[in-house]
Structure formats: C-alpha cells, structure tokens
C-alpha cells in the first residue's frame, strides 16, 4: 500500500469502485434517455397508454440484467479480463520472461546446458504459478 493515511485509502477505494462501475452508470443513463425518448414518442403519436407498460418492462429487464450481470459471473469475468490485460506480474510477457530467467539461473548454477526434463520442470512450475496468480489477489486480505 502506498497510502498511509486512512482517509486517502478510503477515498481511493471508493473512487476505484466508482470507476469500476462507471461504464454501467453510463449505460443506465443511456437507457434512461432512450426510455424518455420512447415514452415521449409514444405520447406524441397517440399511444401514450403504452408508456407505463414500456417503463415496467424496462425496469423488469434492468433487474434481470443486473442479476445476471452480477450473479451470472459477467462481473467477475470482466474483472479477470481487465486483470489479464493490465500490467501485472502474471501477464503472458512476464510468464515468458520468468521462464527465460529461471532457465538462465539454473544453467548458470549448474554450469551446463539444461536437460529437457529440467526445462519441462521449469515450464510446469511456472505454468502452475501463472494459473494460481492470473486472477490477481484479494486486496481485502491485506487490510
């Protein structure tokens, strides 16, 4: 953690949360604009009686979307994808660098070329570590 003061950590955490859902907030605002335009259009063309059913269907659809988005795993998958795309220690380029470094260090320690079994052992160990850490870490465990 880089911040020492409690209020800085709290503010940063909340700003990160807001940033995390900002796309959904924008989507909600677009939905409200579309719903407003649709109901005004219905009223303008003499079909105002369909405005409330449209609003009801939109609200029900929003609840279903929200449930499926959060409980269906979309939110978690997006978080994983963002983590994979970000610059963390378990991205593919670091995975390759780690394997090359491990091979170089072991070859230097042994003062010889590595055997195929040693290369496979390094690759297997790095694959296990990469798979373990590719989803990141739970920040709450450090609080």
Helix (H) and strand (E) counts for the chain? 5, 0
pLDDT at 33: 95
**Nearest alpha-carbon partner for 78 in 24, 31, 139, 115:** 24
CB 68 within 8 A of CB 74: yes
Query: Does position 88 have pLDDT exceeding 80, yes or no?
Result: no
pLDDT at 37: 96
Query: Does position 39 have pLDDT exceeding 80, yes or no?
Result: yes
18 SS3 class: helix
Spatial separation of the C-alpha atoms in residues 30 and 24, rounded to whole Å: 10
Query: Does position 142 have pLDDT exceeding 60, yes or no?
Result: no
pLDDT at 23: 82
């Amino acid at each position: 953690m880089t911040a020492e003061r409690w209020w800085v950590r709290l503010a940063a955490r909340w700003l990160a949360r807001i940033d995390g859902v900002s796309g959904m907030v924008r989507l909600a605002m677009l939905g409200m604009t579309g719903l407003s335009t649709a109901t005004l259009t219905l009223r303008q063309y003499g079909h105002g009686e369909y405005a409330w059913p449209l609003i009801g269907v939109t609200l029900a659809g929003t609840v279903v979307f929200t449930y499926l988005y959060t409980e269906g795993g979309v939110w978690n998958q997006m978080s994983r994808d963002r983590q994979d795309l970000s610059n963390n220690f378990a991205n593919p380029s670091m995975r390759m660098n780690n394997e090359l470094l491990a091979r170089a260090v072991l070859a230097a320690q042994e003062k010889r070329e590595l055997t195929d079994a040693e290369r496979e052992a390094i690759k297997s160990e790095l694959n296990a570590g990469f798979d373990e850490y590719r989803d990141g870490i739970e920040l709450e465990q450090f609080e």
